[in-house]
Amino acid sequence: MWLIMTAIKPSTSLDNLRGLIMNSQSEQILKYLQAGNALTPLEALRKFNCMRLGARIYDLRQKGYVINSLIIKDDISGKRYARYSLVSLN
């Protein structure tokens, strides 16, 4: 965290840094979804270092993007997870 703060401005608040990180992750996720890809939380962690994909999806929905959620149950573990995709309005 210290390296990030010195790279931006020493006076930048922690809340502003969180906003920059969220916007960056949201932008990366949006571009990925706009390319026609679907995304799961594990894929988001691996591709974008995003540990809270649901929160980023919420942010994008608040900006007006229509994002579909498909709940998938793993046959082996029985765990459920979401796969998100952008709805095309064409």
Tens digit of each residue's pLDDT (9 = 90 or more) over 4-45: 444 445 555 655 555 555 568 999 999 999 999 999 999 999
pTM above 0.85, yes or no: no
Token representation of residue 86: 């952008």
Averaged pLDDT for residues 45-69: 96
Q: What is the mean pLDDT of residues 52-67?
A: 96
pLDDT recorded at residue 38: 98
Distance between CA atoms of 32 and 23, rounded to whole angstroms?
14
With contact defined as beta carbons under 8 Å apart, do 81 and 72 qualify?
Answer: yes
Name the residue with higher pLDDT: 10 or 77.
77
E strands, the chain, are: 67-73, 80-86
Helix (H, G, I), strand (E, B) or coil at 39: strand
Task: Report DSSP state, residue 51.
Answer: S
